[in-house]
Chain A
Amino acid sequence: MHSENISVQHENGVAVVLLEGEHDVYTAPAVTGKIEACLSEGHPVVVDLTRASFIDSSILRALIVGRNGSQDRSLGFAVCLDQNEDSAVKRVFEVAGAQELFPVLSTQTEAIDAVLSAGNGSA
């Protein structure tokens, strides 16, 4: 539950915001801040949740804020998460219907490809 559990990498011009471990309302402001900083620099964003073991509604809210920010700037936005049936993160996405809100892929590579292939603003 420390800020070092949120990191940013760049891949082919796409900013990948990587969340590891557990994330909730305590870390949500930092997640929102990282996404916003990447968008402000003009980068499309992939939020990688494949190493996140727990997220809650405040993280979903941070993702929605990020998606809205990407649309305002016509930049791509996508999420990737572990599709394992036991994944607590996937369960939250399913129950909240979050898969309808932004592109959700299984791997970081697929998410980056989705953002790049969609061009500006659609993924």
Chain B
Amino acid sequence: MSEAPLQLCVPARAEYLAVIRQALTGVADALEFGVSVLNDMKVAVNEACTNVVVHAYPDETGTLEVGVRPQPEEVAVIVRDNGVGVQARSDPSGGVGFLLISSLSDRFEIRGGGDAGIEVRMVFKLDATPDGELSAIDPDIATRAPAGVVSAGAVFSAVPGPVVGPVISRLIGALATQADLSLDRLSDAQLVGEAISAHVHDYISGDRIQIVLEDAEGRLDMRIGPLAESGSEQLRRDLTLPGADRSLEQLIDKVDTEYEQQNGAETKVEYLRLNFVQS
């Protein structure tokens, strides 16, 4: 079993639905699929996520996980939670939510039961393809534990590739808006996020990037890693604009490197932590 190539974990709260829709828009930006596919995807995924927000965690806070597997002809999206089972839930829209999921996705399935939470798996074709038997939804995705948990913000985990930058840019935009950062500070954070996305694959330790974005009133924090030894320093060097003496680091209020031991004490990895504050 493996994680989806792109995975997003947010608190299961209504204000994060817009953040998820922005992440899907970032996927569409990168893959250049049409607005009609994106619109259908956003509505269907939003309905699955709304069910989680409204019903999955009646007595506690919990997380909402969205996995995305882009492929040349279709995109699979999995919405997953660890809340109450399917029998304890009803569609808050009186059935319209699942009507929208079934109508707007090309195929979908619901997995789970008992108290194990549920998964809603949806596939969206990127182009009109000839009719034929639909293949099963790949079971080998989004089946691991959430990539991380934050009380306010998003944990984005991905295999390096061209989709990472656009998704990060959209996530930063959505969370900076939520944090009430000015457009200037939002733009600063997006510039830095895009630059980091362009270079981070050279320095990661392991095969996935994890970017944690935490928002609070008037501030946005980013944590990027795990990075190989001296990866943080190298990444900061890559923030220097080509042919100029200026570095994008000037746009960041605070830059730190954190260290963490992995695999017992055998491996030391680094995380680059950035803070953007509304002045």
Contact = CB atoms under 8 A, between A and B. Distances in A.
A80 B42 CA distance: 22
Contact of A60 (B36, B46, B96, B103): B96
B267 to A, nearest CB: 41
Interface in A39-63: 54, 56-58, 60-61
Given A56-B50, A57-B50, A91 B17 contact: no
A22 B178 CA distance: 13
B18 A92 contact: no
Interface in A49-101: 54, 56-58, 60-61, 86, 88, 91-92, 95-96
B47 A57 contact: yes
Given A61-B93, A88-B39, A24 B46 contact: yes
Interface residues of B, number: 27
Interface string B86-120: 00000011101101100110000000000000000
A118 interface: no
Contact of A86 (B21, B36, B97): B36
A1 interface: yes
Interface in B36-56: 36, 39-40, 42-43, 46-47, 50, 53-54
A102 interface: no
A26 B14 contact: yes
B25 to A, nearest CB: 10
A92 B14 contact: no
Q: List the 9 closest pairs (A to B, CB-CB), nearest first.
A: A57-B93, A26-B14, A88-B39, A57-B96, A95-B103, A57-B97, A1-B18, A25-B14, A25-B50
Interface of B: 14-15, 17-18, 21, 35-36, 39-40, 42-43, 46-47, 50, 53-54, 92-94, 96-97, 99-100, 103-104, 177-178
7 contacts: A1-B177, A25-B50, A57-B96, A86-B39, A91-B36, A91-B39, A96-B96
